[in-house]
Structure 1
Amino acid sequence: MSDIGYTSQPTAQAASHAVEPEASFGDFFALLKPRVMTLVVFTALVGMLAAPVPIHPFVGFCAILFIALGGGASGALNMWWDADIDAVMRRTKGRPIPKGKVTPDEALGIGVALSGLSVIMLSLATNWLAGGMLAFTIFFYIIVYTMWLKRSTPQNIVIGGAAGAFPPVIGWLAATGSFAIEPWLMFLLTFMWTPPHFWALALFMRNDYDDAKVPMLTVTHGRRATRVHILVYTVLLAVLAIGTGFTAVGGPVYLAVALVLNGLFLAGAIRIWRRDETMSEADDFRVERRFFRLSLIYLAAHFAAILVEALLKPYGLGGWG
């Protein structure tokens, strides 16, 4: 599939907004993308608790806190760089920089400071491998995805989705200090989930990406191709998710959840694939909206099931015995 690049330069500095003198704590907190941070924290926690090595509760709390700060730092740096397109898109124009509550320079300063603090403190609290992986995750999200892929290729969310998939690996490393296959299965679960999740969003928010000149698949290849891609990735995701049920992080609870949710997710992807494009505007993309909302439950429920399996294992109930 051919990539279509856009030459619009990221002009965070050029996003000149009349800044209001008083920004509240909530405005600065919004820079950290708290909803995204919640997912980062939860998947990292699951990765940590699913590890075969127990971690001291206080050390675990500190690790999750610093991983959350790293995720928040990424959010602030993303808003700094994308201030120009955030001001154009309906979905993001209410963020602190477009609203004039926070300056791009303030967002940059907060992002850089929290990045350094989170990486150093996670390294000291747990181990340097976990800290190094957190540093790489921030680098990947800001440099590889935000600054490069997002504005240059329709594969932006496919490759860039890796950034959001690293937290369970970081959590595992914080507990064990070593790599294993299990956290990478959790990584793949999030990595394969990301494209259909965001492409469904792009289908009913396409005008935003058109206006901002962001080359999402809906913009460069059209809705029909996007629907096909959603179906293909959902099928691959279902194979991976159900197969994970037979691994060390799976078990009967996880497998039951995976079978139900992947059946629903596949059904939703098929409905999207079968859509008549002439009806897309008429019914206000209800099918895509339902699929997008289901995708939020989908990932959270899979990781919750992994967590249940991990918590049951000390009692001889989790896993396959």
Structure 2
Amino acid sequence: MTTMTRPLPVPADWRDFLALTKPGVMRLVVYTGLCGLLAAPATVDPVLGFTAILCIALAAGAAGALNQWYESDLDAKMKRTRGRPLPAGRMDRQSALHFGVGLGAFAVILMGLAINLLSATILAGSILFYVVIYTVWLKRRTPQNIVIGGAAGAFPPVIGWAAATGHVSALPLMMFALVFLWTPPHFWALALFVKTDYANAGVPMLPVVAGERVTRTQIGLYTVPMVAVAIAPWPLGLTHAIYGVVATLASAFFGLLAFRVATRRTQAEDRMRPEKRLFAYSIAYLFVIFGALVADRFLA
């Protein structure tokens, strides 16, 4: 009689560890951090600049890994995340934990030794905020999770600026506020067309607990101060016309898309095109705004 044996699980390889860092999210984090560094009124040694951006990337990867370590049970219940290394069974949770902690510690220590203590401190704070405040405390408890937790993704331009100058001033704080206010419309647009996933996983995202109508209204309401903050550096004299014109035009289009989402009444999943357009454009929007900030610094 033949004995049936279960095949051994395939061990994790480098691609699984890379997936653990959420490279899609990391691209935006690294980009805004780089723009914060380049827009700062300081000349940065290329090697030190590269080191600072590397530390930001490693810290973002560490936060992503620790997020997936803690949320592996939620990821297993959601269609768009069940293929990640932990829920798919390609990696054990202890390996993910050790990888995330080690990567984060290395990033903070390297930033402190090679760059400056201020940027290292903010970097450490951003990791802890994302993992402890957002992932552990807020995400499973309140529909305001993404509002407060959005601060975690708003730190990179401040870190880049602090790495270049050794201090923080009004402009990087306004960029922090921009990303902070941008996060709810960005994520709630996504949540509107993947709300079933969040409901199945028991995550209290706003469309799940308050409904689609309230979510649409909140997207519109958060867009108003976001647009104001995006344009404000120009009239305040913190930037020149290059940034001001680009920010005004890009923000006006964001506002138009948000208005269309906010005023829609249908709940049909096959008619979610405005929500998908807003979500896609919101990513491009930050790339444009921060790119304009750097262009304004060097061309104005």
Question: Secondary structure of 1:54's partner?
Answer: coil
CA offsets, 1:225-245, max 9 Å, x none?
Answer: 000000011111111111123
Cα contact 1:76–1:110 (8 A) shared by 2: yes
289, 292, 299: which one pairs with 1:302?
289
Q: How many residues align?
A: 294
> What TM-score do the two structures reach when normalised by structure 1?
0.89
CA offsets, 1:209-267, max 9 Å, x none?
Answer: 10111111111111000000000111111111111233455221212212221221111
Give the 4+ runs in structure 1 shifted more than 4 A: none
Point out where structure 1 has 5 or more consecutive residues left out of the alignment: 1-17, 313-317
**Paired position in structure 1 for 2:209:** 220
Point out where structure 2 has 5 or more consecutive residues left out of the alignment: 1-6
**Paired position in structure 2 for 1:103:** 92
Cα contact 1:199–1:230 (8 A) shared by 2: yes
266, 278, 281: which one pairs with 1:291?
278
Does residue 150 (structure 1) correspond to residue 136 (structure 2)? The answer is no
CA offsets, 1:66-124, max 9 Å, x none?
Answer: 11101100000000000000111112111111111111111100000011100000001
CA apart distance, 1:180: 1.1
**Paired position in structure 2 for 1:239:** 228
**1:50-69 maps to which residues of 2 (within 5 A)?**
50-69=39-58
Instruction: Indicate the RMSD between aligned Cα atoms, in angstroms.
Output: 1.4
Q: Which moved more, 1:144-153 or 1:19-28?
A: 19-28
Task: Check 1:75–1:215 CA distance in 2 against 1; reply closer, same or farther (3 A cut).
Answer: same
Q: Which moved more, 1:194-203 or 1:239-248?
A: 239-248
**Paired position in structure 1 for 2:3:** none
Question: Secondary structure of 1:244's partner?
Answer: coil
CA apart distance, 1:24: 2.2
CA offsets, 1:20-61, max 9 Å, x none?
Answer: 232221111110111111111111111111111211111111
Cα contact 1:169–1:187 (8 A) shared by 2: yes
CA distance in 2, matches of 1:44, 1:70: 12
Question: Secondary structure of 2:101's partner?
Answer: helix
CA distance in 2, matches of 1:249, 1:223: 38
Does residue 79 (structure 1) correspond to residue 68 (structure 2)? The answer is yes
> What TM-score do the two structures reach when normalised by structure 2?
0.95
Question: Secondary structure of 1:91's partner?
Answer: coil
Q: Which one-letter code corresponds to 2:96 in the other structure?
A: A
Does residue 26 (structure 1) correspond to residue 15 (structure 2)? The answer is yes
CA distance in 2, matches of 1:287, 1:276: 12
**1:177-188 maps to which residues of 2 (within 5 A)?**
177-188=166-177
**1:109-148 maps to which residues of 2 (within 5 A)?**
109-148=98-137
CA apart distance, 1:282: 5.7
CA distance in 1, matches of 2:102, 2:195: 34
Cα contact 2:213–2:265 (8 A) shared by 1: no
Q: Which moved more, 1:257-266 or 1:73-82?
A: 257-266
